[in-house]
Copies of this chain bind each other. A is one copy, B any other.
Amino acid sequence: MAAENWVFTVTAQTPTNIAVIKYWGKRDEDLILPINDSISVTLDPDHLCTTTSVAVSPDFTHDRMWLNGKEVSLSGGRYQNCLRELRSRASDVEDEKKGIKITKKDWEKLHVHVVSYNNFPTAAGLASSAAGLACLVFSLAKLMNVKEDHSRLSAIARQGSGSACRSLYGGFVKWIMGKEENGSDSIAVQLTDEKHWDDLVIIIAVVSSKQKETSSTSGMRDTVETSMLVEHRAKEVVPKRIIQMEEAIKNRDFPAFARLTCADSNQFHAVCLDTLPPIFYMNDTSHRIISYVEKWNRFEGTPQVAYTFDAGPNAVLISHNRKAAAQLLQRLLFFFPPQSDTDLSSYVIGDKTILQDAGIQDMKDIEALSPPPEIKETNTPAQKYKGDVSYFICTRPGRGPVVLTDESRSLINPETGLPK
């Protein structure tokens, strides 16, 4: 090791992802090995991502982590698994200018600081732990000069948070469940990058909820132990859907993609309901969004939008193209207008051009929206649910993790090694 007092940092940005064929149930709790393959779409990090700065210094006395401004413990088994795996793969690092020289074996003794920040609310149920763990693993791998490819890194991230392994790539990603007992073949692979199917637009409805939700870790454990349907799903249903979904993505076949995405989201929630005690992640608002989308898709004769829900009430709505997305946003704002004291710019966030396409510039435009034609037919006055959605995020499929070389983006003070 060279002169003391240096702090060596790396900063990276990693996207979150949403599964279109769902992961629910582990066959190994410690290694986080799933009972079926899953497929996800990576979301644009401009709108939903984790930024993580990691640092190493001979002055650091123990591993420390700060998440969204608050120090959190790194002692959990999952963090420890990731750190151990990364340290064992670390290589020499040298920066002559800064007088830094770390040899492979130094990494066993050196401590790291991790500072992580989500650009979206952690508690909103938007897979923050997937992006977070993926970013931790990716940035530490860069710091430690781990020379393995993204697939190997995905197997490490998987041990931190299962779905994190899918955040190591952009575009569409498949998590192969693998067969090995040690999990070495339970890795993520990229199916296509984000440019392959770039007319998709994603709108997330962050749904207000007072319910305390079941954590996905304990939820999927209960499902595996008690559901009489989940094994049939994992063994008989999902393998066929994985093949069909890969085909749909390859061919940009939106009707097939939408059918599979919706059916698999519903089936995931079905096995949650078949759990003892039953798990409810969707609420009445989630159900209403599904009903509106189903009705509109039927009315149009071909799917315009696919819906998928993770372990919470938020709807992730994947539109065929910009036009469908603008029409979807009009519908969503018609049924779920903002509270009168809400500012439109904080009610629809992310890619604001969708709002422009929808012809909505202010609250008056929302009030002026007419009922969509598919409900006009029914002759019943449309009910509106003000306040049932907290806000909408407009986004799209996005790229995988990147290192941010601009030092101003670092979250760590390079002098102190502490959060800026």
- Which residue of B267, B270, B283 contacts A284 across the interface (Cβ within 8 Å)? B283
Give the interface segment out of A84-92, A226-234, A329-337.
A226-234
Q: Does A197 contact B (CB under 8 A)?
A: no
- Which residue of B210, B280, B383 contacts A383 across the interface (Cβ within 8 Å)? B210
Q: Does A369 contact B (CB under 8 A)?
A: no
Of chain B, the residue at the smallest CB distance from A272 is: B270
Chain B residues with CB under 8 A of A99:
none
Q: Does A290 contact B (CB under 8 A)?
A: yes
CB distance from A380 to the nearest CB of B (A): 8
Chain B residues with CB under 8 A of A328:
none
- Which residue of B267, B283, B287 contacts A229 across the interface (Cβ within 8 Å)? B267
Residues 139-196 of A contacting B (Cβ, < 8 Å) = none
In the assembled complex, the Cα of A359 lies from the Cα of B233 at a distance in Å of 48
- Which residue of B210, B259, B274 contacts A267 across the interface (Cβ within 8 Å)? B274
- CB-based contact A274/B284 at 8 Å: no
Taking the full assembly, how many copies of this chain does it contain? 2
Q: Does A256 contact B (CB under 8 A)?
A: no
- CB-based contact B276/A263 at 8 Å: yes
Contact mask A224-263 → B, CB, 8 Å, 1/0?
A: 0000110011001100000000000000000000010011
Q: Does A277 contact B (CB under 8 A)?
A: yes
In the assembled complex, the Cα of A403 lies from the Cα of B287 at a distance in Å of 45
Query: Known contacts A228-B237, A229-B233: does B273 contact A269 (CB below 8 Å)?
Result: yes
Of chain B, the residue at the smallest CB distance from A287 is: B280
Contact mask A273-289 → B, CB, 8 Å, 1/0?
A: 11111101001100100
- Which residue of B232, B269, B275, B280 contacts A232 across the interface (Cβ within 8 Å)? B232
Of chain B, the residue at the smallest CB distance from A226 is: B263
Contact mask A204-224 → B, CB, 8 Å, 1/0?
A: 000000100000000000000
Of chain B, the residue at the smallest CB distance from A276 is: B263
Chain B residues with CB under 8 A of A278:
266, 290, 294
- CB-based contact B266/A273 at 8 Å: yes
Contacts beyond the supplied A228-B233, A229-B270, A273-B273: 9 A-B pairs with Cβ under 8 Å:
A228-B237, A229-B237, A266-B273, A266-B276, A270-B274, A277-B294, A280-B287, A280-B291, A284-B284
Which 10 residue pairs spanning A and B have beta carbons closest together? A270-B274, A270-B270, A277-B294, A270-B273, A232-B232, A266-B278, A228-B237, A280-B287, A284-B284, A229-B229
Listed by A's residue number, 28 A-B pairs whose Cβ atoms lie within 8 Å are A228-B236, A228-B237, A228-B267, A229-B232, A229-B237, A229-B267, A229-B270, A232-B232, A259-B276, A262-B276, A266-B273, A266-B274, A266-B275, A266-B276, A267-B273, A269-B273, A270-B271, A270-B273, A277-B290, A277-B291, A277-B294, A277-B298, A278-B290, A278-B294, A280-B287, A280-B290, A280-B291, A283-B287
